Every structure is written in C-alpha cells, then in structure tokens.
A and B are shown apart, each in its own frame.
Chain A
C-alpha cells in the first residue's frame, strides 16, 4: 500500500514542477550554449569561468522561486487542507516536496555541465588551468598552457559540485524561512534579501586568502560552499578575464556542508509537517494586536492618497537594499583610495550600491505593484472610483523616487563632501549620470513585466532575464560592446581620472545610451499602464 502511494506522490510532484523544470533547463542549456559560443568566438580558454558565472546567477535566483513553491505553494493554491486529508504522512510529503524542488534546481546545472563537458572532451574548446589562491609568481591566464581534456572536464564537475551545493544550501535556507511566513510574495521579498547576503559569501574565500588565512579560507566552504571559488575579474589586482581559483580542500568542507544541509532539510520537514489548521488556530487564538499610530494621515486629494499608499509600500521595501549595500561595502574597501577607514567606507558605498541598486530596483519595481495585481486586492481597488492611470502613474513616480532617493540618494548625500569626490572608486559624476538612469530603467522594466505577468516574482525574474539577455546581445559584437551602460560608466570614469579633465558626457556613446534608457523607461511605463488598465482580477482568480 505504502509502495503504491510513493509513485503517485512523485507523479504529482513532477506534474507540479514540470513547467518550472523546463524553464530552468532552458535557462541553463541556453546559458551554457552562450558560454560555449562566446568561448568559441573569443578563444579566451575560460569556458568554465563563463559557465560558473551563468550557473552562479542561476543558483542565486532560482532557489528563491523554487523555495516559494516548496514552502508556500500549497497555501497559495489552497490545496493544503486537501493534502492534509490524504492518507500520507506529512513528513513524507515534506521530504518529497523538498526533494522535488532540489531536483528541479540541480538537474539543469548538471545538464549544462554535461553540455560543456562534451565540448571540452571532444577538444572543441580548451580550458586554461585555474589560478592557485596563493600564487607568488603570477602567470596570466593567457600565458598558461591548456589543461588536458580530462582535467578540463574534471574542473567543470568540480565547479558544478560547488555551485550546486551552494544553490541547494540557499534553497534549503529559504524553504525553511518559508515555513515561518504566510505568503509566497513575502518569501520572494525576504528571499531577495537573503540571496544578496548569500552573494556576499562569494567574497569570503578571497578575503581570507588576502588576509593570508588559508585554513579558514578552505573551511569557510563548510558554511558557504560558494566561497571555495574565487572568480578573479578585471577589478582585481592582477585579475584577468575568467581567471578562477578553487580552494585546495573541497571534499571535506562539502561533506561538512552536506551534514548542515541535511539538518536544514530535517528542520524544514519538521516545520512543514505541522498542519496548517494547527498553525491557523494558534494564530486565531492570539488577540489582534493594536498598532501605535500617533496620527491618522490627512489626505486631502486623490493624488496625496495614492502617494501616501506608494510611499508606505516602497520606502520599507527600499530600506533593506540600503542595509545590504552597507553590509556589502566593507568587501569593497580594498580598492579605494587612501584615507581614514570611515572615509574609505563611505566612499566605497557607491561600489556596492551600483550593483545592489540594479537588483534592488527590480525588487521594488516588482513589489510595488504586487498588491494591486493580487486578485483579491485587485478586486478592491478596481471596484472603487480609483482611475487605473492615476494609480499607476502615482505609484510609478513615487516608487521610482523612493528607489533613487533611498538607495542612490543616500549614498550621494553621504559622499557629497568627500575629499575623494570624483575619483573613479568613489562617488563621481559618471555614477550619477550612468547608474541612476540604469536603476530607473531596471525599476521600470520590473514594473512593466510585473503588470504584464501579474506575478511579482515572475516579473522580477523576467526583468533580470531581460537585462541579462540585453547585456549578452550587447557583448556579442565589438560594435555594440561599448554601449553597455556599465562599460560607458567605466569609460567615463576612467577618462575622468586624467587630472584636470572634466567628464565629457557627449563622449563614449553616453548620449545614445542615456536616450535608449530613457526610451526603455517610457515604453515600460506604457506597457505597464496598459496591462494594469486591462487587468481583470476575477479572470485571474479563475
């Protein structure tokens, strides 16, 4: 009897996970195909590093989505009470649910690794050796001899194991976190914050290596497997494109991490198997807490009411982005100019905010309309005399201002009187000219996708995918490579290094890039507004 139930459970899990699985598979196969094609055209002999970048990005975002479905999918779909009535233990259901998500997460990474392995084993691509973490006699990647096909394939699987381990670790942490939350959107939002902190783990190995603490650098992987790979880039001292370093001891830390992950999985199953009705009853028994409000807002006009709504939603969403940037900043201090530690810290804020701003503007853009596209709240505002264009317009403008002021504005204000103002590694005119429009563009794309797809997390993922694909398209050709906004920033910033030369905003393709970003914002506004205007919550609810 028990044996006949297991295949049915697995079948049901497969049916639920089938679509996300194929999307994930497409992501990794296409990503790996791009790495192969790029390597084939450029001949850098660093396909494993490209694959690592693709898989790392995948392993940072996909766990959020999968953990949301694992922890709270049954709550969203209202199937939990039905499942609770089945003659199957909750623990068994929890394990299968967790394993289903992990399978969807890891299999595409493995598929990508297989594809790359075939290319390397057949000799179609070559791979240079990794860089030893403590290499006193540094030899550039281009000057190192190629690895044998077998060693190259071994390197692929070493990297794959580390990326998959890191991704499942993040997935388990988020799944466990999901058992304490009430909705998928809450977990999506918290998941974005945790993923950003997870991203910082990448730098831990490098920090301990630079501090000459190789023992800790090796074993930090027991907690953060992603720290066992250092991906040296152009920004690093003696860094080169696609130069990887892998910790000397991988197996031991991974085994320790496996024990930790098993503990997380067991905790998840224990929490998941507590029935929903039990949790709901416990909540209902609590007396509804009153909240302290010194005053009720006075909102004399429709615009002020909508602006208040947008501020209350967007500012709390922006603040964790600012906190994450502040936490990330110490990792950036190394490359900054001289000065007292506090001054160097403040100046380094821009080094972390440009990337956090890109990601967090997507989080806020997707999140600010998440309530309005929820069918139940959608029904509420659609049946009031609230014009869709006014709701969209005010929320867009206020949300955008919140992103630019709370994230970028705070950093600009903090560095305004810095003696290092204008330096490439500090706040400068190029940052303001390039990254504020780029953050606005990311915000606008996320808003548009969210309104079109009517799922905040999907909208955010689609915005990041849009950016990634655009970047790939720009990088593909030498003619368009210089029009990548980050490249434009680099060119403008580097040009301003010359003493006495002001930043020339008419050069390096800036006018074209700025105009393009402005156009994308306008087009996104139009698409988002049209989607929200046509939104019918009852049809979405089914």
Chain B
C-alpha cells in the first residue's frame, strides 16, 4: 500500500492569537486529485501554507510526502509544484529566464519538459513577464510548478480572475498533464463547477473546520434532496445529518447527508416523495449555508449536522 501524499491530523493553525484552522484531519492518497472547497476566508490558503511549511501548526501533525513541513520545508518545496492565486513573478524576466533561474533549485528540473510545456500551453518565452496576459501568467506559473516533475501539485485558487474559457482550458491542461501521469493534485477553489469535472475527492472547509470529506462520487450519492409534502414530516424525527430545509411551492425540499436509510424509511412508510441528485455546487451550498429552521415543529439543531 502506498504512503499518503498528505496526512493531516487534528491540525490547529492560525496567525498570532487568531486561530484559523481547528481540528482539521484529512488524508490524501498518492495519485488522487483532491479538491478543497471553501468560501473566501474559510482557511484554504492557511492550510496550504501549513503544508508548505510557511506556517507552523499550533497543534496536531502534518506530513507531506512523508516529510514534516515545520522541519523540512525546503525539501517539501523542492518536491511539490505550487501555483498560488494571483501569483507574481519578477516582471523583468522572460519565461526562459525565470525557468533558467529556478532550475538549479530543483534537482529534478527537466529543461526539455519546461520548453515543451511552454509550447503546449502557449506561453511566449521571450516576452517579459510583466507584459504577459493574466491567462499567460497563470499558465507560466503552471509550467514552473510542473517542470520539475513534482510528486504533488498544490494549486491554490489558480484560476481566480480568469475568464470562463481560460478557466476551462486551464482545467483541461491540469486533467491532461497531471491525472494522466498519476500525480497527486491538491486543488483549492471556491469555483465548484470547475472542480466537479476534475476532482476524485472533495473536502469542504467552513470557518476553519472540515465539515465533509469524501470522494466526489460518494458525496453525490450520499447527499440528496428529497421533495415531499410538509404533512409527511410532522410526526417524523429530524434526520441526524439534515443539511437544509426549504419551501418549494406547497412542498418542502429536504437536503441531507447519508440519505439512504431515511429515503428507505420514506419508501417503507409509503410517503410520496421525489429524490433529486445534486451538483457539487448544491452540496457545498447545503453544507455551508444550509438552514434547518423550517423543519416542522423542530428547533434549529445545526451542531449535530456539523459534528
């Protein structure tokens, strides 16, 4: 069995007295494309900074490619390809020059691969970086993150600010060049529709806590929306993993995690209902801003859902 590319146990981290991440645990096997979802300020970048050894954890343990980021940050950065949101590089350099500059820092740097990626991604090699378009800049960042054939690629909201076509093109490049080679990809984003197409597994981070981790397939099969009559809920107990309750005309839409048992119960009781499949966008919304106050005759009980 191969070792996990990333293993995080009960991580707590933050800046000074401000705790940003609390009790975060996750394990990403090698070769997986893992999407970390969260709203702005949820703690995605803080988690990535901890993985790269830029921010020491206050508590818990972190292991990246079998290394401790607090003790071996440079070794990790040498084996990881990282592309940040809105990343800037030395504007006076050309793509060729920044490649030549970075090469000595990566023992596995493949200059031929870098040239090949420049060509395939359409990055002009002899134009100053400050004159590149936003899309070209992101693609240059991707080349620099891949040219040393990293075992793990960390992408922190890399497509933020790009137009939809360029975003799709970027994701296609990621899919083509990373998944095909069996690399581990840690992809942080809040643009869910772009993650849905590429992610093998997903974690939802909300206010510094992981509220759900699972494969994309499992998540979509376990989280469903059930539309039924309000009367059918009156004498029914609230499911343990209820995420959201909303009105839909004369009916009620109930979104819940781990839904199989509850749906089976409805069927056995002969309750008329419709089960709807959800997109990752809907699932994320239910976890992060879902409200259960509309459950008939029940008081709000969000803590049970998050736990």
In the complex, the 3 A-B pairs of residues with the closest C-beta atoms, listed nearest first: A376-B88, A288-B131, A385-B78
A271–B52 CA distance with the chains assembled, in angstroms: 44
A289 is an interface residue with CB less than 8 A from chain B: yes
Alpha-carbon gap, A379 to B106, bound state (A): 18
The residue on B at minimum CB distance from A536 is: B54
Q: Is B127 close to A, CB under 8 A?
A: yes
**When the two chains form their complex, are residues B89 and A380 in contact, meaning their CB atoms are under 8 A apart?**
yes
Q: Does B45 interact with chain A (Cβ within 8 Å)?
A: yes
Residues of B within 8 A of A296 (CB): 96-97, 100
Establish whether residues A304 and B104, one from each chain, have CB atoms under 8 Å apart when the complex forms.
Answer: yes
Nearest-CB residue, chain A, relative to B131: A288
A288 x B88 contact (CB < 8 A): no
B87 and A380: CB pair below 8 A? yes
CB pair B84 A291 closer than 8 Å: no
Measured between C-beta atoms, what is the minimum distance from A75 to chain B in Å? Answer: 15
The answer to whether A263 has its CB under 8 Å from any CB of chain B is no
Whether a CB of chain B sits under 8 angstroms from the CB of A199 is no
Taking CB atoms, residues of chain A closer than 8 Å to B126 are 290-293
Q: Is the CB of A298 within 8 A of B105?
A: no
B106 contacts which chain A residues (CB < 8 A)?
385
Q: A-facing mask of B112-137, CB < 8 A → 1, else 0? A: 00000000000010111001110000
Closest chain B CB from A35 CB (angstroms):
43
Q: Among the listed stretches A4-12, A22-30, A305-313, which one makes contact with chain B, having 4 or more residues with CB under 8 Å of it?
A: A305-313
B84 touches A309 (CB 8 A): no
User: Counting CB contacts under 8 A, is A522 at the interface?
Assistant: no
Interface residues of B in 46-93 (CB under 8 A from A): 49, 52, 54-55, 74-75, 77-78, 82, 84, 86-90, 92
Contact B101 A385 (CB under 8 A): no
Number of A-B contacts (CB under 8 A): 89
Q: Does B15 contact A (CB under 8 A)?
A: yes
Contact code string A372-384 (vs B, CB < 8 Å = 1, else 0): 0010110110111
Is A143 among interface residues, defined by CB-CB distance under 8 A?
A: no
User: Is residue A301 contacting chain B, with contact meaning CB distance below 8 A?
Assistant: yes
Which of B78, B126, B132 has its CB near the most chain A CB atoms (within 10 A)? Answer: B126
Is A413 part of the binding interface, using a Cβ–Cβ cutoff of 8 Å? no
A297: chain B residues at CB < 8 Å are: 97, 100-101
Beyond A291-B127, A302-B104, A386-B105, whether A312 also contacts B78 by CB under 8 A is no
Q: Choose among A293, A301, A380, A536 the residue that contacts B104 (Cβ–Cβ < 8 A).
A: A301
A15 within 8 Å of B by Cβ? no
Q: How far is the CA of A297 from the CA of B111 in the complex (A)?
A: 13
- Among A290, A297, A300, which residue has the most Cβ atoms of chain B within 10 A? A290
Contacting residues, chain B, for A376 (C-beta < 8 A): 86-88
Given contact pairs A291-B128, A383-B77, a sample of 20 additional A-B residue pairs in the complex whose CB atoms are under 8 Å apart: A289-B128, A289-B131, A293-B94, A293-B126, A296-B100, A297-B100, A297-B101, A301-B104, A305-B102, A305-B105, A376-B87, A379-B84, A380-B90, A382-B54, A383-B54, A383-B82, A384-B102, A385-B75, A385-B105, A536-B55
- B103 within 8 A of partner (CB): yes
Write out the residue numbers on chain B whose beta carbons fall within 8 Å of the beta carbon of A383: 52, 54, 77, 82, 84
Whether the pair A288, B101 counts as a contact (CB closer than 8 A) is no
Q: Identify A374's interface contact among B78, B88, B104, B124, CB under 8 A.
A: B88
Q: How far is the CA of A302 from the CA of B101 in the complex (A)?
A: 8
Question: Known contacts being A288-B124, A379-B84, A383-B82, is A293 close to B96, with CB within 8 Å?
Answer: yes
B101 & A308 in contact (Cβ 8 Å cutoff): yes
Task: Give Cα distance in the complex from A539 to B128, angstroms.
Answer: 28
Expressed in whole angstroms, the minimum distance between the Cβ of A485 and any Cβ of chain B is: 35
A to B CB contacts below 8 Å, 9 in the list: A288-B131, A297-B100, A297-B101, A305-B103, A371-B90, A376-B87, A380-B88, A380-B89, A536-B55
Q: Given that A305-B105, A383-B77, A385-B106 are known contacts, is A288 also in contact with B127, CB under 8 Å in the complex?
A: yes
**Contact: B92 with A312, CB < 8 Å?**
yes
Tell me whether A299 and B132 are in contact (CB under 8 A).
no
Least distance between B272 CB and chain A CB atoms (Å) = 52
Q: Which residue of B lies closest to A539 (CB)?
A: B15
A513 to B4, CA, bound (A): 59
Is A387 on the interface with B (CB-CB < 8 A)?
yes
Instruction: Answer whether residue A137 sits at the interface, using C-beta atoms and an 8 A cutoff.
Output: no
Residue numbers in A under 8 Å from B87 (CB-CB): 376, 379-380
Judged by a CB distance under 8 angstroms, whether A279 is at the interface is: no
A418 CA / B105 CA spacing, docked (Å) = 47
Q: Check A293–B82 contact: CB distance below 8 A.
A: no
B residues within 8 A CB of A385?
74-75, 77-78, 105-106
Q: Does A236 contact B (CB under 8 A)?
A: no
A477 to B: closest C-beta gap in Å: 43
Cα–Cα distance between A255 and B132 once the two chains are bound (Å): 48
Assess the B77–A293 pair: CB atoms within 8 A.
no
> B84 to chain A: which residues have CB within 8 Å?
379-380, 383
Question: How far apart are the CA atoms of A147 and B104 in the complex, in Å?
Answer: 71
- Please give, as numbers and ranges, the residues of chain B lying within 8 Å of A292 by CB-CB distance: 126
Inter-chain CA distance A159–B45, complex, in Å, is: 56
Nearest CB in chain A: distance from B6 CB, A: 16
- Interface of chain A residues 297 through 336 with chain B (CB within 8 A): 297-302, 304-305, 308-309, 312
Nearest chain B CB to A369 CB, angstrom units: 13
Question: What residue in chain B is nearest A376 (Cβ atoms)?
Answer: B88
The interface residues of chain B lying within 8 Å CB-to-CB of A384 are 77, 82, 102, 105
Residue of A nearest to B16 (CB): A539
Q: Which residues of B (130-177) have their CB < 8 Å from a CB of A?
A: 131-133
- How many angstroms from the CA of A15 to the CA of B217 in the assembled complex? 54
Residues of B within 8 A of A284 (CB): 133
